[in-house]
Amino acid sequence: MAEADSDHHVEASYDPETDTYHAKYQPDETGSLAGAVVYLVSVATGNDPKTMDPLYETIDVDALESLFRGQEGRTGHIEFQHCGCAVTAMSDGEIVVSPLDDCSP
């Protein structure tokens, strides 16, 4: 399954073998990393992003954005939980969302 978000220009894909959702964040083309994360979590949970808890209640959004701004050639990732999902954002722009057991659509 692939689903595109016109506001954040990311395409979500689902891997049934690992029960994970993936998107590629591209700073110059995708908009905000925070917006891409919220969108991917909404796809994973089946919830409208407008009804979900705000991302800023989970993580410092400005810090998240700054971690991945201008990081060409560097490696790393950040992991956190948001709205019943484990979220991993990698320095190469890959975002992976894994629904947790208590994550309900």
Which pLDDT belongs to residue 1?
A: 44
Q: Which residues contact 14 (CB under 8 A, 6 or more apart)?
A: 1, 20, 21, 22
Radius of gyration of the chain from Cα atoms?
A: 13
Please report, in tens digits, the pLDDT of each residue of the chain (105 residues total): 445 444 556 889 999 999 999 999 887 766 789 999 999 999 999 999 999 999 999 999 998 888 777 656 678 899 999 999 999 999 888 999 999 975 544
* Separation CA 8–CA 65 (nearest Å): 14
Which pLDDT belongs to residue 40?
A: 96
Which pLDDT belongs to residue 22?
A: 97
Instruction: Decide: helix, strand or coil at residue 18.
Output: coil
* Separation CA 9–CA 3 (nearest Å): 10
